[in-house]
Structure 1
């Protein structure tokens, strides 16, 4: 899972703490402690409680706890005397006082293999921190039901699978919280999704697409519920329920919006927030599971009649592991998005009957969550990260088509059950840049596009400011002349990368920009 901690991004699976100043690799116990703090912000937590839940009762001294606290403070540049992150309460314990919001992109409690991720692929959490000005909204949109089957079109017209014309998108959820992990029922009448409330509660919602009525799939008050998957006949759902100390999967009969009593089918490892999906056989589900927080995910199959669990044949496990998979629309095959040790993603096809695993293609990039197209002969995925477009690839990865362009950042795609349309989860954020005179206190705006402007860097002579802006739909380097107050777009990058740092050379004649896997010289 990922969290926004003030201006940092914390990913427990990759064990990293990311800010615009760079990335820090955390030790395993630092990760475990920080996860616990993120789940219990603004609570005074005793050392005994930390030893019980973070060190899981292992015999450790108070000094061991203090050492990890000190290391966390160091990586946050936090002053114990004037803390912004970890406050000490003598003889009582510690309180994590930073502004914490869960993120996910890509799946959060279901970890993503990308930097977006967790329950996934894909949660972007609304933050109250004014510095970030993060005003997010999550759209679950459909490539509209007006998609028309047409004859062969000119090359200039956007098409997918040669016969579907792209015509637009519509909003399916408008809750006050953030909505992720959409799944349309097989009859197309209902949508299930996870809704993240302002108090960080994760709820599973089933909504009628006709009447717009909603029902909440509820368990205990302290439990997070979701994501869910519909059975092939649309009469049941399988879904995840988690709390600090539990991880369980349930099935539940659904008649319209009427819910029957839940049935516990599997107890997963504590801290394992994977995803589960029915196969084309109602009695078999596939799910991802790890051995506890911070460990990589593997894929398993569960027979609902015998309750026998079987590990699937799958790619080698690296980083977050094999948490991302998609069932073929008609065949008993999985599409697995699996990262290598460099975080570059390979796409694999697994035949569930023969257990034959084939590598389709790899991308020398960090791109999350490929899915089968409706015909199952192509793949649909985001066009880079961050992405404002969806792309369709043939199964060799060579033939690429852009099938949709959005005005907001796309987190990941899903198939609609009608066999034509697609869903996507998307969010928008807005960061502006201001120049403040520290002597007289005056300030003026350098960049205030309706999207993100960030990473300002002064040239050595102080006359120019370089920054990253999404004003043209993708992240580009812009220049601002402090004297004339004019702006100039410097680059035309076409790789839709996300940049983490920007620096001038000592002579002011060049810039370097850092993305996930590359350094660019301009």
Structure 2
């Protein structure tokens, strides 16, 4: 493929992924430029979508939306207008054509070629982190537990790289000798040049020393060759990692729709799969001992007498060598009944590092196997930890967290807790200010890597973030490097859910029919989808006193807000949030003319004409439960220096009132008459009393357990774990089972006098894929 060419007044340099005009350069996705080059090669002719997809994404299944996004990027870079279409023209149901003259680099004379390179040239360091091909990987996210997002918080400021400062000094000096020598006698030129060279070498040498230190490394470039599936089955696989010798990948395979799994290994060479655990369990992500002989992970089970939490955590080990010969039972190492722990990681000193949470705050602890004791490695007061990663090769721990100033930091530690460096995360505009970051170590380049869903980024040890790819076609998550850095494991696979609109009479009829036909259970009924795509649709809610239904959908590749008529017609997208946006809560205004949406931890009022207005909130918003547009208040979970608070926030006065006596609140709503009802992490429902909050005893039985609930006319409705729809009248204290629903129903999202809205799970396939790093 030709590396350089002109389109009108634009110089295209494919080798640098750049489009330049009047010495102003833009860096584009390699795939977008490949589309442009293909159109240029057929200048003036219509190229079909199929031909473009086959040319640019060979042997890869991608949707036409991927091509359309590339066309949109090109038009924006060329200053084109999608309506006028000066450069790239759309031919309905046919394809695209390039309508501007093309001049190829190899057809120009040498002088013109030199001029073009000068016009298109920028510092290679500015584009070095963007030269990666977009790779088609599939979506991964399904509904997440609110607690897992609890510490997604805080704003940031830009941090300045010490190594970059040295680099800039060296560049400045490198341009000065010509200026100096032009003003000196010829006899002095040699001495000045030698002196300058010595200074340059000294600065460069100092730069290399700084580069080698953990606090001053800048991101290295990663490029990829191909993506391949490793566990392409009908099951769900999570938590994949390589063994220390790289011979095996180890992953967890789940049982159907349940949360229990077994641990498996797969020989990278022979592709043989080996069952490692003898028993099913709720096992967490695992970690290898340094010698590769042992695995450690958590086994979670319901606490027999839940006092502070409903789940207890056992730290267990597994003999990996024996398990490769036959499945083994796990060995109990440590029990945690009154604190939450996660991310057990085996350190080189044979201790195990874990994050432990008590009273809403996480700290990093080190568990000594030999002494059966633990010590605190790192604790932020004030502040909170988000996550950590460990490099066995460098014997370093990278911790991300929210400090007392409310900003996100990267802290580098030694395994004894010694703080090596601490830097504010320097985020590019692609990453929202409050998004939590969970990086993994790159074993070759002294840097970290993380994914936000469809984008990959490197993270230097001093907190500097650089994008290494344009948005992927689909989502990926949880990157784990090969020990030698030659490939990366990801989890991919879409969470496909639909919206169901069902009348209460239809629900009653289905249950009556099931009672007459004993061979058929209501749980076996297939509900017709009100909104359906191959991606996730969720959280549908009725417009107050109107015929519209608002819902979330990922059908365009990103989570966006959509509206539809109650007949399913007139469906349209009313938001255009950026790539990898995550929405955690929305609610209608009382007049039905707008909605309040919590997107990327920021409240945004979205009107039906797609116009938007940001609502300032002093703290990152973790969850929006309800919006009272008449009094302009909202029930929120906010993060204050990394600690979660359940509050009622006055949006006009920017004031908040803490609620629920510092309980860990999972869901909350106010009834029509103003009563606050909330659910805590132990599945207990509460309402305020005359002196203190009181449990609703009728709703604290096993049969009433539910993730969320809705309130209509002072009646609470929810679907419990036995797939039953129930109601509780707050005025009469009356509890009723209204009927059974299908086993594929995830949740009840809204109800009115005659109809209900539910989310149903279509599929939740997950698999392990491997992204091969270019040499």
Band the TM-score falls in, shorter-chain normalisation: 0.5 to 0.7
Q: Residue 391 of structure 1 contacts residue 404 of structure 1 at CA under 8 Å; is this kept in 2?
A: no
In the alignment, is residue 278 of structure 1 matched against residue 334 of structure 2? no
1:355/1:501 CA distance change after superposition, 3 Å: closer
In the alignment, which of 395, 406, 419 is matched to residue 485 of structure 2?
419
Match of 1:469 among 538, 541, 553: 553
User: Which of residues 306, 315, 329 in structure 1 aligns to 2:380?
Assistant: 315
Displacement, 1:296?
4.7
Matches within 5 A, 1:127-166: 162-166=220-224
Equivalent of 1:338 in 401, 416, 421: 401
Note the C-alpha offset of 1:480: 3.7
Indicate if the aligned counterparts of 2:248 and 2:265 stay in contact, CA closer than 8 A: yes
Q: Measure, in 1, the Cα distance between the counterparts of 2:234 and 2:542.
A: 39
Match of 1:448 in 2: 532
CA root-mean-square deviation: 4.4
What stretches of structure 1 of length at least 5 have no aligned partner? 1-102, 117-159
- Which residue is equivalent to 2:434? 365
Per the alignment, residue 191 of structure 2 pairs with none
Distance 2:542 2:330 in 1: 60
- Which structure has more RCO (C-alpha within 8 Å, separation ≥ 6)? 2
Alignment of 1:289-304 (within 5 A): 290=356, 296-304=361-369
SS in 2 for 1:275: strand
Q: Deviation of residue 312 (structure 1)?
A: 0.9
For the 8 Å contact 1:330–1:376, the answer to whether it is kept is no
**Paired residues of 1:315 and 1:348 also in contact (CA < 8 A):** no
Q: Secondary structure at the match of 1:432?
A: strand
Mean CA deviation greater in 403-412 or 369-378 = 403-412
Q: 2:459 & 2:545 partners in 1: Cα distance? A: 47
Residues 1:206 and 2:265 aligned together:
yes
More helix by share: 2
1:498-509 alignment runs, 5 A limit: 498-505=582-589, 509=593
Checking the alignment, whether the CA contact within 8 Å between 1:431 and 1:453 is kept in structure 2 is yes
**CA shift at 1:185, angstroms?**
1.0
Aligned length: 365
Query: CA–CA distance in 1 between the matches of 2:423 and 2:245?
Result: 31
Structure 2 match to 1:268: 335
| Matching residue of 2:494 | 428
Are 2:450 and 1:381 equivalent residues in the alignment? yes
Query: Relative to structure 1, is the Cα distance of residues 478 and 163 closer, same or farther in structure 2, using a 3 angstrom cutoff?
Result: same
Aligned pairs for 1:245-256 within 5 A = 247-250=314-317, 252=319, 254=321
Q: How far is 1:190 from its partner?
A: 0.6
Query: Shift of the alpha carbon at 1:509?
Result: 4.6
Structure 2 Cα separation of the partners of residues 180 and 344 of structure 1: 31
Q: Deviation of residue 339 (structure 1)?
A: 4.9
Q: C-alpha distance in 2, partners of 1:243/1:179?
A: 20
> Aligned in 2, Cα 1:213/1:483: closer, same or farther, shift over 3 Å?
closer
The separation in 2 between residues aligned to 1:429 and 1:223, in whole angstroms, is: 23
Matched, 1:195 2:277: no
Counterpart CA distance in 2 for 1:310 and 1:378 is 27
The yes-or-no answer on 1:228 pairing with 2:286 is yes
Asked which structure has the greater CA Rg, the reply is 2
Deviations 1:388-421 (A, max 9, x none): 3332234454543053755554342222223132
- Evaluate the alpha carbon distance shift between residue 418 and residue 202 of structure 1 in structure 2; reply closer, same or farther with a 3 A threshold: same
Distance change (3 Å), C-alpha of 1:169 and 1:379: same
Within 2, Cα distance between the matches of 1:218 and 1:231? 17
> TM-score, normalised to structure 1's length?
0.57
